[in-house]
A and B are shown apart, each in its own frame.
Chain A
């Protein structure tokens, strides 16, 4: 066992891990973080998505011991002050049903919008191509992300007009 320190959703956490424990195992089993899910366990489905130093990654394909000293964001760390605009739009558009993929989809979409606030539909589909959803058929999800981007775009245009 080795003690590692990670910045988890903004707070420093220390945890003892064995080299063969995945980040997903440690988050769910030792740190009480349940939003990343184990779907395929081989990097295909995206249900285990977390942000590592802000970048979308598969927590099922990363050993916990590898991320010593890095920062990990899960859905628990998104919208700590209440649901974000993106999360509210997911609700408004019925962009989920069973919810198993939703934490991964929301994280992947948040990362996209941070990097590229005004993505094209193609860019949205590409950014979410690694997050499988078996309920929605993807249309409401893509619409949600584009809606949020459009609204943010309008708001910043207004702000520019005022200043």
Chain B
């Protein structure tokens, strides 16, 4: 037996039934794609009494445009994000990040809702959702709640989701922009991020910057955003000024995937490369979305 802990299982077919099941007893957790949860069950890192499989809930499915926002059901898989023309058009930075999540076999199963609820510091969707200023739409038995992505991540594996609640959808505002996502890995192919950077720039030269894997949670980079403000085509000197600011506004640790110093220095380089790529894309040049600027030629 590869999973030592024993638990019960149910697969409700409506959101209200799922919320009722989750609230009925302590120790009940939702199961989405399972690519984190089942690995944690096998490790013995978690030992729930009851799994509520949320893959049968129609409320958590679908990708659509509504009131000027792009809505992604929480059960949208990373493979579906990559394949969706709507996401590619309105949230291309998220597509670029989704393409770097693990491998095809995981992307076919792992969901964006699961990714942000697992909330590991290296979560690939985090930086992209932060630069889009996305909103997480949560359902609880007491009612619906909207939580900004900037207030979602509280610590490693800790989120603003109240016990018994469910992330139902993620939405983000649409509008003309460009951006880029870079992920530093120990080798090509699948790996967790040693560090990641997402940047977004709009037609007025307003920049948003976020980092992953270099703090207890994905974080925004306000100092770099300020220095780049208004620059649709930041000059080299400005990028040189931004680089140490990026290095100083992250707080990495040394672990099995990399040292603190290495991560900090690479963040500066990754910031520069992603800003250059985003600048080119904003001007209608630059490689199509879906590359890792650290691995491929990008112009």
A residues adjacent to B (C-beta < 8 A): 2, 18-22, 24-25, 38, 41-44, 46, 49, 52, 55-58, 60-63, 65-66, 108, 125-127, 129-131
> Can you identify 28 A-B contacts, CB atoms within 8 angstroms?
A19-B9, A20-B3, A21-B1, A21-B3, A22-B42, A38-B2, A42-B39, A42-B43, A43-B39, A43-B102, A46-B103, A46-B105, A49-B105, A56-B105, A58-B35, A60-B2, A60-B38, A61-B38, A61-B106, A63-B38, A66-B53, A126-B104, A129-B190, A130-B104, A130-B106, A130-B189, A130-B190, A131-B103
Chain B 16-42, CB-CB to A under 8 Å as 1, else 0, gives 000000000000000100110011011
Between B1, B34, B38, the greatest number of chain A beta carbons within 10 A of the residue's beta carbon is seen for B38
Q: Give the residue name and chain of the B residue nearest to A22 (CB).
A: B2
Inter-subunit contact A18/B105 (CB<8 Å): no
Q: A46-B103, A58-B106, A130-B104 are in contact. Are A25 and B34 (CB under 8 A)?
A: no
Select one of B31, B43, B51, B105 contacting A130, CB under 8 A.
B105
Inter-subunit contact A58/B105 (CB<8 Å): yes
B88 at the interface (CB under 8 A from A): no
For A46, list chain B residues within 8 Å (CB).
Answer: 103, 105
Q: Give the residue name and chain of the A residue nearest to B79 (CB).
A: A55
Inter-subunit contact A20/B6 (CB<8 Å): yes
Select one of B1, B109, B190 contacting A20, CB under 8 A.
B1
B255 at the interface (CB under 8 A from A): no
Inter-subunit contact B106/A43 (CB<8 Å): yes
Inter-subunit contact B1/A61 (CB<8 Å): no
Q: What is the CB-to-nearest-CB distance from B253 to chain A, in angstroms, rounded to a whole number?
A: 22
Inter-subunit contact B104/A108 (CB<8 Å): yes
Q: What is the CB-to-nearest-CB distance from B47 to chain A, in angstroms, rounded to a whole number?
A: 10
CA of A160 to CA of B41, assembled, Å:
52
Q: What is the CB-to-nearest-CB distance from A112 to chain B, in angstroms, rounded to a whole number?
A: 8
Inter-subunit contact B7/A20 (CB<8 Å): yes
CA of A130 to CA of B189, assembled, Å:
7
CA of A69 to CA of B176, assembled, Å:
43
Inter-subunit contact A41/B2 (CB<8 Å): yes
**Which B187-206 residues sit within 8 Å CB-CB of chain A?**
188-190
Inter-subunit contact A63/B1 (CB<8 Å): no
Select one of B2, B9, B31 contacting A25, CB under 8 A.
B2
Q: Give the residue name and chain of the A residue nearest to B296 (CB).
A: A122
B238 at the interface (CB under 8 A from A): no
Q: Which 5 A-B pairs have the closest CB atoms?
A: A130-B103, A19-B9, A129-B189, A20-B3, A61-B38
B108 at the interface (CB under 8 A from A): yes
Inter-subunit contact B2/A62 (CB<8 Å): no
Inter-subunit contact A43/B6 (CB<8 Å): no
Q: Give the residue name and chain of the B residue nearest to A126 (CB).
A: B104
Q: What is the CB-to-nearest-CB distance from B16 to chain A, in angstroms, rounded to a whole number?
A: 21
For A131, list chain B residues within 8 Å (CB).
Answer: 103
For A66, list chain B residues within 8 Å (CB).
Answer: 11, 31, 34, 53, 55
Inter-subunit contact B2/A58 (CB<8 Å): no
CA of A126 to CA of B55, assembled, Å:
27
Q: A42-B39, A61-B34 are in contact. Are A22 and B3 (CB under 8 A)?
A: yes
Select one of B7, B8, B108, B190 contacting A57, CB under 8 A.
B108
